[in-house]
Structure 1
Amino acid sequence: MPRHQPGSSLRAARELYLEVTKDPSARPLVVASWQRSMEHRVKSGSLDAPYLDNPNLESPLARAALPILDRLHEQLADDPVSMMITDRNGVVLSRKVSHEGLTTNLNRVRLAPGHVFAERYVGTNGIGTALASGRPVMIAGIEHYVEALRDFHCAAVPILHPTRRTLLGAFNLTTIRQGSDGMLMAFARSVAAQIEGEIAAITSRRERALFHDYMEACSSVRPGPVLALNRDVVMMNEQLSTAVTGPDHYALLDHAREIADSPRTQGTRSLALPSGRVAELRVRRCRREDSDAGAVFRVRLIGRPQPGPAVSAAPARSGLGLVGSSPHWLRAVADSQAAFVAGTALHLLGEAGVGKRTLVETLHRAHGAGRRLEMTQPPLSDSPAVTEGWLHDIGELLAVPSNVLVLCEVHLLGDQLRQRLRNLLTHLDGTATGQLVLTSQPSMVSTDDQLDQLCGALVEVPPLRHRPGDIEDLARFFLRKYRPSAESRFSSDALTMLQRCPWPENVRQLEAVMRGLARRPCGPMIHAEDLPPECRVSSHKVLTTIEALERDAILRGLMDHNSNVQRTAQALGISRATMYRKMRRYGIVPSTLT
């Protein structure tokens, strides 16, 4: 998130930025990175690299890279150079360094496992700039945005998935030795290539294992509908592809992907489909050589599709006036309402932008007469004084009977502070009379459920991609909110495009799209060409600002050249192969452009 800073610090950064841009040797990549750093309002005078407990070392990237780093570490013993692997968010997963002096310097600037070195937090640096630009970078000395990093020379290379070419993370070399930039970059490129090669080998073994289990399931006496998938492959037999179509198809795949991404999930799960049917999924994990290769699902469909509700001028709403009529959403609202009315401690779990805060505020307006709603975020600092004050404030607020306290984004709490919060709430359990509500996002960083044990109700708020039937009602609601004087309708092609969009930022993103649409002159009928470029993709990837600009430029070029890829690539100054790679990366398909 953006970090606010004193005006003097920002002025100093701008002055140095002007010096960098005036330097004839300044590289455009570094200049662009400094500009992004200022837009993020990074403090140039101090270092603020967030820390995450328990970084995920079970990802394909980590499993492929760590043995390679171990071997190289033995060869570089006592050399003043460190090797690091990070995920695509800039979280340092592993660091290898045996030089005592360099270790001390790296620890001083928190360049260590668990810390996040994305540009939005620490400005221009090897890791963050390689991830933001998608290119190998060498950031040396004064090119670093934050002063504390200017003693270092860093060579970082993005690591891409071998088949999808999506960004997985980065390999980084850091030293304080000058004059070795060329050697560092050559070495970094070589190691990154080795890691990508190992990921390709692991992916191939996983795909073969999953295919074996899928064929075994399909060759049984009465196989029924069968689905098999992991992060790279989706396989389904003809019985499933003909039985589940339209919104049911997308909902089933989305839920199956989430189950497959959780190696611990198996057994039987039930899923309510948008059509009103229920899909019963029998999950079997595919494991080979102590590695999870995905999951195979036997699917049983229960019930018949129900006719959709008649289209009306007013959006469908729950009893609380919230827009939406999908079974997932109504169940989440009803369960939350029951817990709130009963005074039970409630935990709302859901992705960013799904409406957790809106749900709490609506419940308070409907059932919180005479009660004060208080919201607090995890402390930004882990200093003892700040954390002690935060915990003290929570205890004071919960001691007031008329308070409803909402602890937002508790997934950001580290293990130690999470345990201290649990101890506090356990101690207050017999005396506190204020009502507690927790909100959090699904997180791979912390998987303990200690806080959940203190809550009487855990409610999962569904992402927008699991509510395709609600998208039209929500879109019309937001249009009416920002353009109350006009009544607009969506053409069938526009509505289809909205329902196929993955909405990685959920309802918050849909509202932003409709707000922008309301500010532009549109007729009473909104067509697909009226929608912004971000609605024309099918990728679930959350894009950086630079990636979003690049994606939109490609979309505009394709539309200007009647979807001709070669002419668009020439106009953008890139090769046709690069054009196709970027289209795959951003989920751009020709059918979304017509």
Structure 2
Amino acid sequence: MPQPQPGNSLAVARERYLEVAEDPGRVRPLVVASWQRSMEYGVKSGEISAPYIENPNLDVPLTKAALPILDRLFEQLAGDAVAMMITDHQGVVLSRTVSDEGLTTRLGRVQLVPGHVYSERYVGTNGIGTALASGRPAVIAGNEHYVEALRYFQCAAVPIVHPTRRTLLGAFNLTTTRQGSAGMLMALASSTVRQIESEIAAISSRRERALFQDYLAACASVRPGPVLAVSREVLMMNEQLSAAVIGPDQHALLDHAREIADDARFEGRRSIALPSGRVAELRVSRCRREDSDAGAIFRIRLIGRPQLRPPAPEGSRRADLGLVGSSPQWLDAVTACEAAFTSGSWFLVAGEAGVGKTTLVEAVHRAYGAGRRLVVAEPPSSESPHASEQWLHEVRDRLAESSNVVVLRDVQLLGNGLRRGLRGLLADLDRAATGQLIMTSQPTTAGADAHLGDLLDTCVEVPPIRHRYEDIEQLVRFFLRRYQPNGDRTCSPEALAMLQRCPWPENLRQIESVIRGLVRRPAGRVIGVEDLPPECRVSSRNVLTAMELLERDAILRGLMHRNANVQRTARDLGISRATMYRKLRYYGIVPSSLS
């Protein structure tokens, strides 16, 4: 079959589907729409290319609720050639159970095993990916699969939704090679998901009660002071905290607290620099019940007084490096990167997409890397044995030049085999006779790669924009000057305040895109609130949970990538239009039109 090209219309997707459909008279809109998305993603129909995430996080309510239920179901289906799988909301296979050896082998050949990502973006139309993309139960049988290697299977997948938050947690999937079993598979999958969602509700209720008890105990101590309780779904603060920490300080504190609470291993003390100049000293204790982490209790001590800072300079405190920003978190990252670079260390620069990791490395190299060549290597486009061997050979050759500074970007995208090869290559090198190695990485659901980290000397954490509240004004002015060097357009105080409240899920990349779009649009000299694009009009007064933050950011990205089209964004996220408008109001997102 000819390989479809991205960007084809729905009619072309329908035509391609009809070419392989067993019964062209029964064309299902769900499948045709999925084929269209698969073509837009550029999925190759002739090969399987499901990315692999090493050590996905299984310590989540979804797996705790689902695995005992799947164990019981496995006993009932023992001997049947049916595979049961649980995935997270991104399509990462978290668990797979199958008793038939032949089916196990077939699933291995198509990478349908734990750790691989089976979303439509990578594998095209399939039960798991299509259920997650559409938000509806999906049966994909035979030639309805987009990738040819999957057309031997019948799959029934049902989304798993949090019973109270209504956020997408993942999917339950049943796969078999037995023909004509779609009805049975869907009935069984739907029944199993109802049981899983019921157990999630029970676990959430127990966790919330446990966290509330620990929160009350902390507040009832002799000298309670400011107290905060945070879990994935709950946030509570006492009056002392809500009165003592307000405005940007409160936003910064809650962002840090959510991230700390998400790390079930952290317990102890941590100090946070707040935008006002004060320091919040956090004493963190975990709330653990029934061998499960229910969240974290924060006892908070505030050090110092709010400082009235002079207006930020037009450029940057680090003008010598050409970098914009003066927040303590950002300056700490710059200083750490300078120290690691000038000492010749091998180090990792970690941070979310778009925070400026590569920009930071390039700036430090310009300042301190005289006579040394900066070489940037991307992950290989394919992890076939030949492509992997060639990529590792190129990395070895570049490091062999002692005057080179080699930057390996986005190492979180490397598959398990390539990671092992890279570890072996680096372990065999003589550090004294090689170039300097720097890696960049984004957070993933994978566990830390301790073996790869052992070969590096240090890690530099680059903060996301939402933790650099005071830098947003400087960044906005910087990009205004870049894209209108002879212009005099400025932001009104109201527009600037709204830009500072924006969560910026894509960080610097998104700020630059927004300002570039504003400059290109005809408008007056002063940019007002009405000129801002939809993704910047966030004015929610609600204290959002970690799950709600993820959902809000997904909606913002959807609107940004679909030209503020609410109906298309709702359809692509798998929710109804009415639900989308309700969420827009709740999160304070104001698109330019709500027609």
TM over 0.5: yes
Name the CA shift for 1:208/1:551 in 2 (closer, same or farther; >3 Å). Answer: farther
Provide the residue aligned with 1:508 in structure 2: 509
CA distance in 2, matches of 1:164, 1:364: 47
| Partner Cα distance (1:119, 1:398) in 2 | 37
Amino acid at match of 1:543: A
2:302 paired residue number: 301
Cα distance, 1:210–1:106 mapped onto 2, change above 3 Å: same
CA shift digits 1:13-53 (9 cap, x unpaired): 97664253795632222222111111111101111111222
Aligned to 2:430: 429
Written as runs of structure 1 = structure 2, the 5 A alignment for 1:156-305 is 156-305=157-306
1:10 aligns with 2:4: yes
Q: How far did 1:214 drift?
A: 0.6
**1:286 partner SS:** strand
**CA–CA separation in structure 2 for the residues paired with 1:33 and 1:40:** 11
**CA spacing shift, 1:217–1:326, aligned 2, 3 Å:** same
Cα distance in 1 between the residues matched to 2:568 and 2:473:
25
Alignment of 1:282-361 (within 5 A): 282-310=283-311, 314=315, 317-361=318-362
Corresponding residue for residue 587 of structure 2 = 587
Gap regions ≥5 residues in structure 1:
1-6, 558-567
The answer as to whether partners of 2:329 and 2:463 remain within 8 angstroms in 1 is: yes
- Letter paired with 1:165: R
Separation in 1 of the partners of 2:456 and 2:174?
45
Structure 2, unaligned runs of 5 or more: 541-548
Provide Cα deviations, 1:352-387, integer angstroms capped at 9, x if missing partner: 111001111112222222211111133344444433
Query: What's the CA shift string for 1:397-432, capped at 9, x where partnerless?
Result: 222121000111223344554344334323323443
Q: Shift of residue 232 of structure 1? A: 0.2
Q: Counterpart in 1 of 2:490? A: 489
Percent of aligned positions that are identical: 63
CA contact (8 A) 1:69 1:83 kept: yes
Aligned residue identity for 2:520: R
Contact 2:52 2:416 in 1 (8 A): no
C-alpha distance in structure 1 between counterparts of 2:580 and 2:49, whole Å:
36
Residue 544 of structure 2 corresponds to none
CA gap 1:581/1:130 in 2 versus in 1, 3 angstroms: farther
Q: Specify the SS of the correspondent of 2:52.
A: coil
Residues in 1 aligned to 2:567 and 2:44: alpha-carbon distance in whole angstroms: 35
Using CA pairs under 8 Å that are at least 6 residues apart, name the structure with larger relative contact order, 1 or 2.
2
User: 1:427 is aligned with what amino acid?
Assistant: D
Moved more, 448-457 or 490-499: 448-457
8 Å contact 1:155–1:185 — kept in the other structure? yes
| Structure 1 Cα separation of the partners of residues 483 and 57 of structure 2 | 42
Are 2:444 and 1:443 aligned? yes
Work out whether residues 411 and 446 of structure 1, in 8 Å CA contact, stay in contact via their aligned partners in 2: no
Aligned to 2:287, the other structure's residue is in SS state: strand
Q: Is the 8 A contact 1:316 1:473 kept in 2?
A: no
2:17 corresponds, among 20, 37, 40, to 20
Paired residue for 1:392? 393
CA 452–380 in structure 1, closer or farther in 2 if over 3 Å, else same: same
1:446-478 Cα shifts (integer Å, max 9, x gaps) = 324333333333211001110011112212222
Indicate which of 524, 538, 543 corresponds to 2:554: 543
After superposition, the Cα gap between the structure-2 partners of 1:395 and 1:509, relative to the gap in structure 1 and judged at 3 Å, is same
Distance 2:430 2:320 in 1: 32
CA RMSD of aligned residues (A): 3.0
Corresponding position of 2:86: 85
Distance in 2 of aligned mates of 1:179 and 1:418: 41
Count residues in correspondence.
Answer: 573
**Separation in structure 1 between the aligned mates of residue 313 and residue 410 of structure 2, nearest angstrom:** 36
Q: Give SS of 1:223's match.
A: coil
CA distance in 1 between counterparts of 2:225 and 2:194 reads: 42
Counterpart-to-counterpart distance in 2, 1:111 and 1:203:
30
2:141 maps to a residue whose letter is A
- Partner in structure 2 of residue 102 of structure 1: 103
Superposition deviation, residue 238 in structure 1: 0.5
The answer to whether the aligner puts 1:375 opposite 2:369 as a matched pair is no
Residue aligning to 1:405: 406
Which secondary structure state, in structure 2, belongs to the residue aligned with residue 98 of structure 1?
coil
Letter in 1 for 2:15: L
How much has 1:281 moved relative to structure 2?
A: 0.3
Residue 159 of structure 1: SS of its match in structure 2? strand
Q: Post-superposition shift, 1:490?
A: 1.9
Deviations 1:524-573 (A, max 9, x none): 2212221111223464445387676789444999xxxxxxxxxx9xxxx9
Amino acid at match of 1:10: P
Q: Greater CA deviation, 442-451 or 285-294?
A: 442-451
SS across alignment from 1:378: coil
Q: Which moved more, 1:117-126 or 1:496-505?
A: 496-505
Q: Is the 8 A contact 2:87 2:171 kept in 1?
A: yes
d(CA) in 2 for partners of 1:591 and 1:34? Answer: 29
Deviation of 1:101 after TM superposition, in Å, equals 3.2
SS at structure 2 position matched to 1:200: helix
Q: Determine if contact 1:354/1:508 at 8 Å carries over to the other structure.
A: yes
Distance, in Å, in 2 between the alignment partners of 1:405 and 1:44 is 35
Counterpart residue number, 2:529: 528
Q: Which residue of structure 1 lines up, in the alignment, with residue 35 of structure 2?
A: 34
SS in 2 for 1:42: coil
CA–CA separation in structure 2 for the residues paired with 1:21 and 1:306: 67
Q: Counterpart amino acid of 2:17?
A: V
Report the residue type matching 1:347 in the other structure: L
1:254–1:592 distance in 2 versus 1, CA, 3 Å: farther
Distance, in Å, in 2 between the alignment partners of 1:269 and 1:515 is 38
SS in 1 for 2:116: coil
Residue 184 of structure 1 deviates from its aligned partner by: 2.1
State the Cα distance separating 1:166 from its structure 2 match: 1.2
Shift of 1:9: 2.0
Distance 2:47 2:124 in 1: 11
- Segment drifting more, 504-513 vs 308-317: 308-317
- SS of 1:543 mapped into structure 2: helix
Output the CA distance in 2 between the equivalents of 1:53 and 1:456. Answer: 22
Q: Mean Cα displacement is larger for which, 214-223 or 518-527?
A: 518-527
Partner of 1:143: 144
Is the 1:20–1:31 Cα contact (8 Å) retained in structure 2? Answer: yes
Question: Matched residues in 2 for 1:59 and 1:592: separation?
Answer: 37
Task: Give yes or no for the alignment of 1:363 onto 2:374.
Answer: no
Q: Residues 579 and 214 of structure 1: is their aligned pair in 2 closer, same or farther, counting only changes over 3 Å?
A: same
